[in-house]
Amino acid sequence: MTTYAVKNLTHGRELIAFRIGEQEFCVNIMSVREIRGWTPATSMPHAPPYVLGVINLRGAVLPIVDLSLRLGMKPAEPTVRHVIIVAQVGPKVVGLLVDAVSDILTVTNENIQPTPDIANEAEKAYARGILAIEGRMICLIELDSLFPHTESEAA
Amino acid sequence: MKKKVLTVDDSRTIRNMLLVTLNNAGFETIQAEDGVEGLEVLENANPDVIVTDINMPRLDGFGFIEGVRRNEKYRAIPILVLTTESDAEKKNRARQAGATGWIVKPFDPTKLIDAIERVTA
Amino acid sequence: MDMNEIKEIFFQECEEQLAELESGLLKLNDGDRDPETVNAVFRAVHSIKGGAGAFGLDDLVSFAHVFETTLDCVRSNKLEPTQDVLKVMLKSADVLADLTNAARDGGSVDEARSRTLIRELEALAHGEAPAAAEAPAPKPAAAAPKAAAPAPVVEKPPVNDEGFQPIPFSFGDFDEEPADRYVPTCQVVFKPKKDLYAKGNEAVLLLRDVSRLGEMSVYCDMDSLPPLDKMNPEEAYFSWKISVTTDKGEDGVRSVFEFAEWDCDLDIHTIEEDVVGEASDDEELPMQPVPFDLSMLDEGGPSAGGEEEPTAVEGDAAAAVAAAETATKVSQAASRAAENAKAAASAAGAAQANQAAAAGQTIRVDLDRVDRLINLVGELVINQAMLSQSVVENDNNGASSINMGLEELQQLTREIQDSVMAIRAQPVKPVFQRMARTVREIADITGKSVRLITEGENTEVDKTVIDKLAEPLTHMIRNAVDHGLEMPEKREALGKNPEGTVRLTAKHRSGRIVIELADDGAGINREKVRQKAIDNDLIAADANLSDEEIDNLIFHAGFSTADKVSDLSGRGVGMDVVKRSIQALGGRISISSKPGQGSVFTMSLPLTLAVLDGMVVTVAGQTLVVPLTAIVETLQPEASAIHSFGASQRLISIRNSFCPLVDVGRILNFRTIQANPIEGVALLVESEGGGQRALMVDAIQGQRQVVIKSLEANYTHVPGIAAATILGDGRVALILDVDAVVAASRGQSLKQDISLAATG
């Protein structure tokens, strides 16, 4: 798997870019299942603050994560204009609440610059690099490291 | 016209193997799961040759062969016994019951087809 | 279908055969001496061997062969199936199961164990069989030294049948001239007996096959043919003298007659080249070599030939073949008349037989297909609920036809759902059978003598429940034998049967399956449990607990009553784990124990994990579903019935008894301040081992059957929540885990043992 992904990088790949507040982020399009509008979630007891709750995605129970809060920014106040990026993370499917989807980018490995040293540990953990496109700065997020399969962080 | 083979075996595995082997060799295959069903099927199946197992529930191979031989219509039909039995005594019993020949399991497709060819015109 | 699919079928079949084998052996162990039981056991092993041979699974074949041989001794009454014999056989069944699993999944097998059992099986087959009294039995004699050898080689089953092994070629000079172009000529004298025809062999086919070996000449001897009016169509009158030159040699010729040699006089011998000429002049063997014409065979359909007078064609090989055919056909014609007479009767019989076969027919369906269907029906149920709700909300002018239609739809949906669920229902038998092995193994290790009795094996429950039942059940059985039952000497001293009994029962009760595991051991040592609980700070030293409450302490996390953690039920896995896995199935478990008489564990499980009858309630603005099975009654509390107790506890008096109030909203952190009980509704629930509790909710919306959706699939386990469902408005509602909430109300926090958050 890993080797394949690395090889793929050199041949260019597609990313989905989205906006949270003033910042832009992107994830590999291969992990995105669909994009849908915000619907109120059923809140979960004992959930970490960034888990907004669960929604019904065609019969499956889908947890919704406030990506803003998860990335250490201010909590989102979901409106009908917000969108949910339904993404595959490991064996599970998760809905990521973001402000808006902005772009689909095709990039090659050369377009991706390493994360600058100024980033603190938390950001380094999920940022896989930075893209400079048309004067914009887009941070490439690794979803697997954002939601590790065995997260030990106590809520 | 395709030659018709009736196979009688309680093992699903063996039934499937027989089916694949016989169909590949161009035979038409009818299957029964034990001696009782074999005798039931026989009437309508009108096979050219029968391949039967010995150890089966309800009615074993010996009983089945005897049943076939008692049937005026089918008593001359070649019956091959498919068996893992290695002692001569069982084979002898099968012969006494009226078996035409035998195929020792695990059969390979060639052995099976050869034996069928040997007893059918 | 390809070989891999057949192999998969083979392994499925193995599982069935292994179950059959085990249950048969257990019946024998119980004294069953029905020959059909022995046969079924034999057949199971035989069948596994047969299939394994076809796939070249040599280890499996070797073991099955030895096992089969020993079973055959039982079958032929040479070996008495005593308890000791059956002990070996049951262990062998276990090894056979291991070998099958290893062949399927590539796992490893305890080779030492299988070698030991092979030795024991062989010893049973040879040692106990009255070999000396028997007629010369070459196989046991040959195998005996092997059994005695320190590391016996696994005896492979003979690939060929010994009784019909080709006779070794006996001409010494043949070996000396292998490269020579010399091709031996064989002379065959072949005189069929009438049995040959009766067994479906055909002289003509044998001659055809001989002709395929090489150059053949044949002479038909019809001297014994009587006049036509004296001819018996069933009799064999002809004999043949054949000369065939073939590089297959005498062996090759003999193999043609393999099927026939018992039903004919057959003389085959090789003649040297220079003898051939003499032979043709030999008066005793008047040969008239003619090319063998097989075209007769091709035309030889049932309608061709046959009218020809056999005696008129003396000396012609083709005619000899025709004569052979005639001999057969005469008998066929004779039987044809009878056949016509029977045709009508048999047609009617066959129709009946077909009908009989149609009754109780089954088909095998891929589980994925069933599950897809179940999921779709689940969606249908949700959709139907959503449709009903939106019609009710949007249509107030009483279009009764729509409402009626909707009601019918609801009815139908429910029926479809029930029917689909029934497809997944399976008897608990396979799990119960697996427990027999568990009991044997632990009995072996602990040195206890245990008898497992199973009842209600055919009780059906959803396959998922069955699959998940094995693990907790295994653990409980180990526990029952290891901790519950006393050692045989001790039992004897107590006046008990030295053999302990473990009874496993399944039955349906009010829409659930109840599984009981009872042992007749020592029962719970309450003093010890109590002390342990105090030592572990589970209870206060002066806590006043009922016997039942003490017994149920064993389900607490980290609780172990054994003085030393035994290797078996120890390993840090306690009854709390069992309880949790039962709860994960939507089930409950409880224990009742009588000192000196044993303990009974009772598990109650839902029949399906797909749907649940629930009460839809509102708690702090959230919609929750409470499983109906947990609710004893609902009540509207009056202010006078609510009593404060201690700092924060409140009790509700119900018919003169006091029951703790549990604020569900607080427990689930949906609100921070206690709700006012008289503004809400109390659900009186029965929880495992904790008596009754009154769960406070804000309002009851109604009762509904809901489709259970996993939270774990995309999220994680949530304390206090059993699962999720989707309601008529399309939103997710959570299903309350009543036992966890009640436990939390007792002061054990709903521990956040997850942290996941969004993915886990």
Q: Predicted ipTM? A: 0.84
The answer to the question of residue A8 being in a domain is no
More confident residue, C680 or C334: C680
- pLDDT of amino acid C146: 41
C 72-91 near B (Cβ less than 8 A): none
pLDDT digits (tens, 9 = 90+) for C696-709: 999 999 888 788 88
Q: Which amino acid is at B42?
A: L
Give bridge partners of residue B51 from the DSSP assignment.
Answer: B7, B80
Number of domains in chain A: 1
> Which of residues C76, C110, C136 is at a domain's end?
C136
Among B11, B77, B100, the residue with its CB nearest the CB of C50 is B11
- Kindly determine whether residue B57 and residue C39, on different chains, have CB atoms separated by under 8 Å: yes
pLDDT digits (tens, 9 = 90+) for C414-465: 888 878 878 888 889 888 888 888 888 888 888 888 989 999 988 888 888 8
B16 touches chain C (CB under 8 A): yes
C197 touches chain B (CB under 8 A): yes
Residues of A with a Cβ under 8 Å from any C Cβ are: 40-48, 50-51, 53-56, 58-63, 65, 70, 89-90, 92-94, 147-155
Rg of chain C taking only CA atoms, in angstroms: 39
Gap between the Cα atoms of C461 and C109, Å rounded: 32
Gap between the Cα atoms of B22 and C476, Å rounded: 50
- pLDDT of amino acid B61: 84
Give bridge partners of residue C186 from the DSSP assignment.
Answer: C244, C270
C 199-228 near B (Cβ less than 8 A): 199-202, 204-205, 209
- Kindly determine whether residue C42 and residue B43, on different chains, have CB atoms separated by under 8 Å: no
End-to-end CA distance of chain B: 12
Interface test with A, best of C732, C735, C737, C741 (most A CBs within 10 A): C732
Number of Cβ atoms within 10 Å of the Cβ of B13: 25
C39 touches chain B (CB under 8 A): yes
Tell me the domains of chain B and their CATH numbers.
2-118 (3.40.50.2300)
Using DSSP bridges, classify how beta strands A13-20 and A100-107 pair: parallel, antiparallel or unpaired: antiparallel
C675: domain CATH number is 2.30.30.40
Distance in Å, alpha carbon of C247 to nearest chain A alpha carbon: 59
Instruction: Identify whether residues C569 and C549 lie together within a single domain.
Output: yes
Q: Which amino acid is at B12?
A: R
DSSP string for residues in C524-577 = --HHHHHHHHHHTTSS-TT----HHHHHGGGGSTT---SSS--TTT-TT--HHH
- pLDDT of amino acid C213: 76
A51: domain CATH number is 2.40.50.180
What residue of A is the nearest CA neighbor of C714?
A92
Gap between the Cα atoms of C599 and C611, Å rounded: 32
Q: Which residues of C touch A54 (CB under 8 A)?
A: 711, 715, 724, 732
The answer to the question of residue C371 being in a domain is yes
pLDDT digits (tens, 9 = 90+) for C499-532: 999 999 998 876 778 999 999 988 888 888 888 8
The answer to the question of residue A63 being in a domain is yes
Q: Does C295 score more than 60 pLDDT?
A: no
Q: Which of C23, C145, C175, C146 is nearest to C86 (CA)?
A: C23
The answer to the question of residue C326 being in a domain is yes
Number of domains in chain C: 5
Q: Does C205 score more than 50 pLDDT?
A: yes
The segment with the largest mean pLDDT, out of C98-112, C332-346, C617-631, is C617-631
What residue of A is the nearest CA neighbor of C624?
A42
Domain that holds residue A64: 14-146
The answer to the question of residue A6 being in a domain is no
Locate the DSSP E strands across C253-365: 264-271
Tell me the two tokens of residue B40. Answer: 């039931």
DSSP state of B107: P
- pLDDT of amino acid A27: 93
C 616-635 near A (Cβ less than 8 A): 622-623
What residue of B is the nearest CA neighbor of C364?
B12
- Kindly determine whether residue C39 and residue B104, on different chains, have CB atoms separated by under 8 Å: no
Give the three-class secondary structure for C243: strand
Angle at C297 between CA C295 and CA C301, to 5 degrees: 120
Chains A and B are touching, with contact defined as 3 or more CB–CB pairs separated by less than 8 Å: no
C54 touches chain B (CB under 8 A): yes
Q: Does C156 score more than 60 pLDDT?
A: no
Instruction: Identify whether residues C317 and C348 lie together within a single domain.
Output: yes
Asked if C51 contacts B14 with a C-beta cutoff of 8 angstroms, the reply is: yes
What backbone torsions phi and psi does residue C529 show, to the nearest 5 degrees? -60, -45
Tell me the two tokens of residue C484. Answer: 């519950």
Q: Does C618 score more than 90 pLDDT?
A: yes
C16: domain CATH number is 1.20.120.160
> Which run of H or of E encompasses C346?
helix C317-358
Distance in Å, alpha carbon of A154 to nearest chain C alpha carbon: 5
Number of Cβ atoms within 10 Å of the Cβ of A13: 17
Confidence tier at C74 by pLDDT (50, 70, 90) = confident
- pLDDT of amino acid C698: 93
Give bridge partners of residue C271 from the DSSP assignment.
Answer: C185
Among B40, B72, B89, the residue with its CB nearest the CB of C357 is B40
Q: Which of B24-33, C626-635, C747-756 has the lowest mean pLDDT?
A: C747-756
Domain that holds residue C396: 367-423
B 37-96 near C (Cβ less than 8 A): 37, 40, 43-44, 55-57, 69, 72-73, 75-79, 84-89, 91-92, 95
Instruction: Identify whether residues C214 and C352 lie together within a single domain.
Output: yes
pLDDT digits (tens, 9 = 90+) for A15-66: 999 999 889 999 999 999 999 999 899 999 988 999 999 998 877 899 999 9
Q: Which residues of C touch B114 (CB under 8 A)?
A: none
C731 touches chain A (CB under 8 A): yes
What residue of A is the nearest CA neighbor of C750?
A46
- Kindly determine whether residue C357 and residue B69, on different chains, have CB atoms separated by under 8 Å: no
Give the three-class secondary structure for A96: strand
Among C382, C750, C755, the residue with its CB nearest the CB of A151 is C755
Among B37, B87, B118, the residue with its CB nearest the CB of C205 is B118
Task: Give the residue-averaged pLDDT of C46-51.
Answer: 85
The answer to the question of residue C166 being in a domain is no
The answer to the question of residue A113 being in a domain is yes
**Which chains neighbour C (Cβ–Cβ under 8 Å, 3 or more pairs)?**
A, B
- Kindly determine whether residue C715 and residue A92, on different chains, have CB atoms separated by under 8 Å: yes
The answer to the question of residue C718 being in a domain is yes
Instruction: Identify whether residues C591 and C616 lie together within a single domain.
Output: no
Q: Which of B68, B71, B63 is nearest to B93 (CA)?
A: B63
% of chain C surpassing 90 pLDDT: 7
pLDDT digits (tens, 9 = 90+) for A57-76: 877 899 999 999 998 888 98
C504: domain CATH number is 3.30.565.10
Instruction: Identify whether residues C329 and C197 lie together within a single domain.
Output: yes
- pLDDT of amino acid C328: 55
Chains B and C are touching, with contact defined as 3 or more CB–CB pairs separated by less than 8 Å: yes
What residue of B is the nearest CA neighbor of C38?
B57
- pLDDT of amino acid C355: 46
- Kindly determine whether residue A61 and residue C715, on different chains, have CB atoms separated by under 8 Å: yes
- pLDDT of amino acid C619: 93
- pLDDT of amino acid C159: 45
Half-sphere exposure of C678 (CA within 13 A, CB side): 7
What residue of B is the nearest CA neighbor of C40?
B57
Asked if B27 contacts B66 with a C-beta cutoff of 8 angstroms, the reply is: no
Q: Does C591 score more than 80 pLDDT?
A: yes
C 312-371 near B (Cβ less than 8 A): 328, 331-332, 335, 338-339, 342-343, 346-347, 349-350, 353-354, 356-357
Strands of the B28-32 sheet, one edge to the other: B28-32, B4-8, B49-53, B79-83, B101-104
Distance in Å, alpha carbon of A110 to nearest chain C alpha carbon: 31
The answer to the question of residue C147 being in a domain is no
Instruction: Identify whether residues C193 and C128 lie together within a single domain.
Output: no
Q: Does C621 score more than 70 pLDDT?
A: yes
Confidence tier at A83 by pLDDT (50, 70, 90) = very high
Chain centre distance of CA C471: 17
Q: Which residues of C touch A152 (CB under 8 A)?
A: 755
Q: Which residues of C touch A151 (CB under 8 A)?
A: 755-757, 759-760
The answer to the question of residue C153 being in a domain is no
A117 CB contacts (<8 Å, ≥6 apart)? none
Tell me the two tokens of residue C729. Answer: 């408005």
Instruction: Identify whether residues C453 and C496 lie together within a single domain.
Output: yes
pLDDT digits (tens, 9 = 90+) for C551-569: 888 887 666 544 444 444 4
Instruction: Identify whether residues C452 and C559 lie together within a single domain.
Output: yes
Asked if C604 contacts C588 with a C-beta cutoff of 8 angstroms, the reply is: yes
Interface test with A, best of C715, C725, C736, C751 (most A CBs within 10 A): C715
Among B10, B37, B72, the residue with its CB nearest the CB of C339 is B72
Chains A and C are touching, with contact defined as 3 or more CB–CB pairs separated by less than 8 Å: yes
End-to-end CA distance of chain C: 40
C254 touches chain B (CB under 8 A): no
What residue of B is the nearest CA neighbor of C344?
B43
- Kindly determine whether residue B13 and residue C342, on different chains, have CB atoms separated by under 8 Å: no
The answer to the question of residue A155 being in a domain is no
pLDDT digits (tens, 9 = 90+) for A102-139: 888 888 877 888 887 766 776 777 888 888 888 888 99
- pLDDT of amino acid A148: 63
What residue of C is the nearest CA neighbor of B20?
C1
Instruction: Identify whether residues C625 and C513 lie together within a single domain.
Output: no
Q: Which residues of A touch C380 (CB under 8 A)?
A: none
Tell me the two tokens of residue C86. Answer: 């059956």
- pLDDT of amino acid C15: 87
Instruction: Identify whether residues C235 and C329 lie together within a single domain.
Output: yes
The answer to the question of residue C757 being in a domain is no
- pLDDT of amino acid B112: 82
Sign of CA dihedral C68, C74, C77, C79: positive
pLDDT digits (tens, 9 = 90+) for C231-279: 776 677 777 788 877 777 777 777 777 777 777 777 877 776 544 444 4
Distance in Å, alpha carbon of C137 to nearest chain B alpha carbon: 11
Instruction: Identify whether residues C733 and C659 lie together within a single domain.
Output: yes
- Kindly determine whether residue C201 and residue B121, on different chains, have CB atoms separated by under 8 Å: no
What residue of C is the nearest CA neighbor of B88?
C163
For chain C, give the mean pLDDT: 74
Encode chain B (121 residues) as per-residue pLDDT tens digits.
788 889 998 888 888 888 888 888 888 888 988 888 888 888 888 888 898 888 888 888 888 888 888 887 887 888 888 876 566 677 778 877 888 887 877 777 777 888 888 788 7
